[in-house]
Structure 1
Amino acid sequence: MLKCNLSTLMGKERLTIAEVIRRTGLTRNAVTTLYDERAKRIDLNTIARLCELFECTVDDLFEYIPNAER
């Protein structure tokens, strides 16, 4: 499972969803599905824009959590 840390990064920077949308040019749907951790698929451009905004790596934005049943 992948955990998206967008809400954590936004909290640290005190950014709203509207501000992330304005600064990245991403759609509200793209940002809110990641924020709410409901995304099933993610465009690489979306990841790149968020990493650029937060000056972070993909590892900072997403965290891999192994499935306990494996």
Structure 2
Amino acid sequence: MPIKSNLSRILGERRIKMSELAKDAGIAKNTALALYHERAKGITFDVLEKICLALNCQPGDLFECMAEGDDGSSGSESS
């Protein structure tokens, strides 16, 4: 089951730049960039905690499990 990052949506909604997140969270810009563009292969709990603290959110806000074959671009979920 693919896991989708919602970081780009969250940053867009809050009008936060990726460089601001990296600085505020104390993470590498490349790490934020990989998560933003959904190219990250994984994330440590340490980085996850830093991002959640910087954005005042929960891990479930940052990521969601997608059904096989769902690229998340339709904007609707099937039941």
Would the TM-score normalized by the shorter structure come out above 0.5? yes
Identity %: 32
Please name the residue that 1:66 is paired with.
67
Q: Which residue in the other structure is 1:25 paired with?
A: 26
CA RMSD of aligned residues (A): 1.0
Unaligned residue ranges in structure 1 (runs of 5+): none
Equivalent residue number for residue 56 of structure 1? 57
Deviations 1:6-48 (A, max 9, x none): 0111111111111111101100111000000001111111111
1:66 deviation in Å?
2.2
Structure with higher helix content: 1
Following TM superposition, by how much is the alpha carbon of 1:54 offset from its aligned partner in structure 2, in angstroms?
1.4
User: Could you tell me which amino acid in structure 2 is paired with residue 49 of structure 1?
Assistant: K
Report what 2:72 is aligned to: none
Consecutive aligned runs of 4 or more in structure 1 exceeding 4 Å deviation: none
Structure with the greater alpha carbon radius of gyration: 2
Alignment length (residue pairs): 68
